[in-house]
Amino acid sequence: MIIIIPLGGTDNEFKNEYNIPRILLRVSKDGRLLIEHFMDSINITNHTVIFIVRRDENINFKIGDILKTIFSNKCQKIIISEIIDTKGSLSTSNNIIKNLYNDLDKNENIVIFTSNVIIEPQIEFTPIISKNTNTNIFKVYSFKSNNPNHCYISTDSNKFIIDIHEKYTFSKYALTGIYQFYNIEMLLKHSNKALEIISEKETNYISDLLLYLINKKINGKSIIIGLNETIDNIHCIKNPSDYKYYIRNILPEFGDKPVGLCSDHSGYKVKNIISKILDKKNIRWIDYGCLTPDSCNYGDSVEQASKSFLNNEIDFVFGSCRTGQGINMAANHYGFRSAILYDENSVFMSVNHNNANFYVLPGCLYEDSEEDIIDKLISIIKNTRFQGGRHYDRINKFYKIINRKYVYL
CA 330 to chain centre: 29
Q: What is the largest CA-CA distance in the chain?
A: 82
Rounded to whole angstroms, the Cα distance separating 216 from 135 reads: 11
pLDDT of residue 399: 67
**What pLDDT, on a 0 to 100 scale, did the predictor assign at position 132?**
64
Whether the pLDDT of residue 226 is over 70: the answer is yes
Distance CA 263, CA 321 (A): 6
Quote the CA–CA distance of 125 and 41 in Å, as a whole number. 11
- CATH level 2 (architecture), domain 253-399: 3-Layer(aba) Sandwich (3.40)
> Which pLDDT tens digit goes with each residue over 79-91?
999 999 889 999 9
Helix/strand number for the chain, H first, E second:
15, 18
Rounded to an integer, the average pLDDT of 272-281 is 98
Cα radius of gyration rounded to whole Å, the chain: 25
Q: What is the pLDDT at residue 236? A: 95
Q: Does domain 2-247 have CATH number 3.90.550.10?
A: yes
Could you tell me if 264 and 321 are in contact, meaning their C-beta atoms sit under 8 angstroms apart? yes
Mean per-residue pLDDT of the chain: 92
Average pLDDT over residues 95-103: 94
CA 297 remoteness from chain centre: 38
Distance CA 79, CA 274 (A): 53
List the domain boundaries for the chain.
2-247, 253-399
pLDDT of the residue at 85 = 85
Identify the CA nearest to 141 among candidates 73, 41, 214, 280.
41
Q: What is the pLDDT of residues 53-67, one digit of tens each?
A: 999 999 999 999 999
pLDDT score for 407:
46
Lowest mean pLDDT among 122-136, 158-172, 259-273, 381-395: 122-136
pLDDT (tens digit, 9 = 90+) per residue, 5-52?
Answer: 999 887 889 999 999 999 999 998 899 999 999 999 999 999 999 999
